[in-house]
Amino acid sequence: MTNSRYQEFAVGKTVLLACTVGIALGASPVPFNMVGTFTLPITSEFGWGRGDMQLALFCFTLAAVATIPFIGALMDRIGVRQVAIGATAAYTGALALMALAPNNLFVFYAIWVLIGIVGAGSTPISWTRAINDWFPVNRGLALAIALMGTGLTAAFLPSLAAWLIAEFGWRKAVLAIAAMPVLIALPLAWRYLKSAPTHIGLAPHAQALAGGVTLGQAARQWRFWAMMLSILLVALGIGGLFINFQPMLIDKGFDPKAAAQVAGAIGISIIVGRLVTGWLIDRFWAPGITLPLLALPALAAWLLMQDHITTTQALIAAALVGAAAGAESDLLAFLAARYFGLKHYGRIYGVQYAAFGLASGLAPFLAGKVFDHYGSYNPALPWIAGFFVVGALLLLTMGRYPEKDELR
């Protein structure tokens, strides 16, 4: 066993880099950070409602949800590297097809279904398995750094997409964004994504996690369903605010570029919240640590209900939403390993992540339909606030971490 707690980072730094970039440009943050910026240009050109256009994101997540359990099983069988590299290459091509979309909702939805199917293996389900293998002692912090990739995407992509659309139109903007995974993430994964060496030492709790319960055994535990329901509620809240954040600000008088810049604060907050959460959950009971981070976005929903919102208030709302998004993604991967072990991690995390993706994809559509019906997002915001609070409190029912004998 290594003497230094942080020796893992010296050994696994290139794997961590590949996973961070892979997550940043994978089929999780890129589609979700594109849709908000592309909503108004596409609906303006085609005459669609916002809810109609954003239903594409639900089609994407539904397809990914249906595929992810198979990806988890495949990853457990053949390894992370093959799954992550193949999925990253395939999803780049599928994403580029969006640039050819005609004024036909069925075709538009079909493209997003394809993105979800072929891109499922480039979501965090693959990359976090590599991190769990390489960082048994500093699992929380390493997951936080890798999942920081979603925050980086949320910080730069809205502004980049807004600039690309303004300069070249939304179709060429799609092609530019679609090129990034294959040009940046794929070479890094090919070069650095490897199996964990056997000489990495294991702390006592990490030795326990090397075992694990099956998906069926996990599903017979209350904590599995408490985690699932918490994920669903918080993801509904995050998805409803995150994707519609820019349209909400534009409706309140912000110009598109200013709205995109404020939305970029969500990404910065994701990064900060993720790193702080990751460091803390290695040392303290994770559900208690993340309670305030997951509940406070209820205040963001209240701020966004006001008729007039200042830039400062918008930034506060963005920071609260980002902190929750960062904390929940860290928590999902960490708790799946900590409560159920790593032996069947791909299947268990795949099912939990599928619930997260399903709720994240459904929420924008529901919020968009509320806007289409009422001309305002306000009727949805009290519900979103409640989802955050109840979802955060549910995690407190999960109890202590299991001992080694309980993960056999």
Structure confidence by residue, pLDDT tens digits, 85-97: 999 999 999 999 9
**Fold assignment, 7-407:** Growth Hormone; Chain: A; (1.20.1250)
Q: In percent, how much of the chain has pLDDT > 70?
A: 93
Angle at 73 between CA 69 and CA 74, to 5 degrees: 115
Residue 402 and residue 224 in contact, taking contact as beta carbons nearer than 8 Å = no
Model pLDDT, residue 132: 78
Cβ-proximal residues to 199 (8 Å cutoff; 6+ apart), any chain: none
Give me the pLDDT at residue 197, please: 60
pLDDT band at 406 (very low <50, low <70, confident <90, very high): low
Q: Distances in Å between the alpha carbon of 407 and those of 178, 282, 345, 402? A: 41, 19, 12, 7
d(CA 171, CA 163) in angstroms, rounded, equals 13
What pLDDT does residue 284 have?
A: 84
Cα–Cα distance between 80 and 67 in angstroms, integer?
A: 16
- Asked if residue 5 has pLDDT above 70, the reply is no
Which residue, 213, 207, 266, is CA-closest to 32? 266
Percent of the chain with pLDDT over 90: 27
pTM for the full predicted model: 0.69
Q: Is the pLDDT of residue 40 over 80?
A: yes
pLDDT at 188: 94
Q: What is the mean pLDDT of the chain?
A: 84
Domain ranges of the chain: 7-407
- Which runs of E-coded beta strand occur in 92-188? none
Residue 198, CA atoms < 13 Å, CB-side half-sphere: 0
Helix axis angle for 256-281 and 139-168, nearest 10°, is 170
Distances in Å between the alpha carbon of 373 and those of 50, 304, 333? Answer: 10, 18, 37
Burial 122-150 (b: 16+ CB within 10 A, else e): bbbbbbbbbbbbbbbbbbbbbbbbbbbbb
For residues 163 and 376, give the distance between their C-alpha atoms in angstroms, rounded to a whole number: 27
pLDDT tens digits, 7-26: 788 888 899 999 999 999 99
Quickly list DSSP for 334-351: HHHHHHHBSTTHHHHHHH
Tokens read off for 366:
């529901």
pLDDT mean over 167-176: 94
pLDDT for res 199: 47
271 CB contacts (<8 Å, ≥6 apart)? 148, 151, 152, 155, 326
Per-residue DSSP letter, 185: I
**Separation between Cα atoms, residue 37 and residue 98, nearest integer Å:** 14
Question: Read out DSSP for 211-264?
Answer: SB--HHHHHTSHHHHHHHHHHHHHHHHHHHHHTTHHHHHHHTT--HHHHHHHHH
- Cβ-contact 223, 338 below 8 angstroms: no
User: How far, in Å, CA of 162 to CA of 98, rounded?
Assistant: 17
Confidence tier at 404 by pLDDT (50, 70, 90): low
The band of 110, judged by pLDDT with boundaries at 50, 70 and 90, is: very high
The band of 130, judged by pLDDT with boundaries at 50, 70 and 90, is: confident
DSSP 8-state assignment for residue 341:
B
Tokens of 111: 């493209």
Q: What does the pLDDT look like over 286-328, one tens digit per residue?
A: 888 888 888 888 999 999 888 888 889 989 998 888 888 777 7
Beta bridge partners of 346: none
- Lookup result for tokens 């069926």: 216
Instruction: Supply the angle between the helices 222-242 and 297-304 in degrees, to the nearest 10.
Output: 30
* Dihedral, CA of residue 48, residue 358, residue 242 and residue 332, to nearest 10: -170
β partners of residue 212? 341
pLDDT of residue 204: 42
Over residues 197-204, the mean pLDDT reads 49
Sequence letter at residue 48: W
